[in-house]
């Protein structure tokens, strides 16, 4: 038996099938790496702060439920509700 695949010649690619070799990017300087690291650090700091704020709000909401502190109408900043919670906590 003959193997047709091994004896076949590869087809010539058409003019639309050009081969592009990937080009390497130039290495970043220490200053560029430092700027990138500062940018990532800023983004991570923002995520940590957002997570901390979310956890704080969940804690306060849980305390409202535990101590049965209801929302006060026309109290947009929840200052009256917080005063009631602090009183119940003895703060």
9: in domain: no
Identify whether the C-beta of residue 85 lies closer than 8 Å to the C-beta of residue 70: no
Least confident of 6-20, 34-48, 60-74: 6-20
* Domain enclosing residue 66, as ranges: 28-89
14: in domain: no
Residue 36 CB neighbours (<10 A): 11
21 versus 43: which is more confidently predicted?
43
79: in domain: yes
Residue 19 pLDDT class (50, 70, 90 cuts): confident
DSSP letter assigned to residue 12: P
Q: What is the mean pLDDT of the chain?
A: 87
1: in domain: no
pLDDT digits (tens, 9 = 90+) for 60-75: 999 999 999 999 888 8
3: in domain: no
Q: How many domains does the chain have?
A: 1
| Distance in angstroms (rounded) separating the CA atoms of residues 5 and 18 | 24
| Distance in angstroms (rounded) separating the CA atoms of residues 85 and 66 | 10
Query: Above 60 in pLDDT, residue 1?
Result: no
- Which of 66, 67, 84 has the alpha carbon at shortest distance from 75? 84
* 78-63-86-48 Cα dihedral, nearest 10 degrees: -70
Percent of the chain beyond pLDDT 90? 62
* pLDDT for res 17: 66
């Amino acid at each position: 038996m003959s193997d047709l695949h091994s004896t076949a010649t590869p087809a010539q690619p058409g003019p639309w099938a050009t081969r592009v070799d990937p080009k390497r990017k130039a290495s970043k300087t220490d200053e560029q790496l430092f700027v990138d690291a500062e940018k990532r650090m800023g983004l991570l700091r923002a995520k940590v702060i957002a997570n901390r704020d979310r956890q704080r709000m969940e804690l306060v909401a849980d305390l409202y439920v535990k101590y049965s502190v209801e929302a006060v109408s026309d109290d947009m900043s929840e200052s009256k509700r917080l005063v009631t919670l602090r009183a119940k906590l003895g703060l």
